[in-house]
Amino acid sequence: MSKLFFFSRVALLCNICFLITFFIRFVPDLKDGFLISTIIIIGLVLSIAINALVNLFYLAVTVVNKPVVHYVPLWLVITNFLFFVFQAILLLK
């Protein structure tokens, strides 16, 4: 397994935590606990950093004229990129 594929999957898991964190705002009766606080930290801090890094590596691999699809499935690249766009919009807002 290539390192890019591994970090792409880690970025996807962090992005899922980001999505859960985004929807936690709308649930009023959640108790603060270890699991909720861990998901919030992963979702708000790690997902943005790891996703930006993974997308930067996607760009670097593309610049070297090697298709990213040889290392990572296309659906994973598209999903991570769409999450990155969504995170960038929320950060700039």
Q: Count how many domains the chain has.
A: 1
Other Cβ atoms less than 10 A from the Cβ of 25: the count is 8
Range of the domain at 69: 3-92
Query: pLDDT value at position 1?
Result: 56
What lies within 8 Å, CB to CB, of 62 at 6+ separation is: 68
- Which residue has better confidence, 90 or 14? 14
**What band does 55 get if pLDDT is binned at 50, 70 and 90?**
very high
Cα–Cα distance measured from residue 76 to residue 64, given in angstroms and rounded to the nearest whole number: 20
Ordered alpha helix ranges (H), the chain: 3-24, 34-41, 47-63, 74-92
Cα-Cα-Cα-Cα torsion 84, 90, 92, 93, nearest 10 degrees, comes to 160
pLDDT for residue 31 is more than 90: no
pLDDT for residue 30 is more than 80: no
The mean pLDDT value of the chain amounts to 90
Q: What is the mean pLDDT of residues 56-85?
A: 92
Question: Is residue 46 within 8 Å of 14, Cβ to Cβ?
Answer: yes
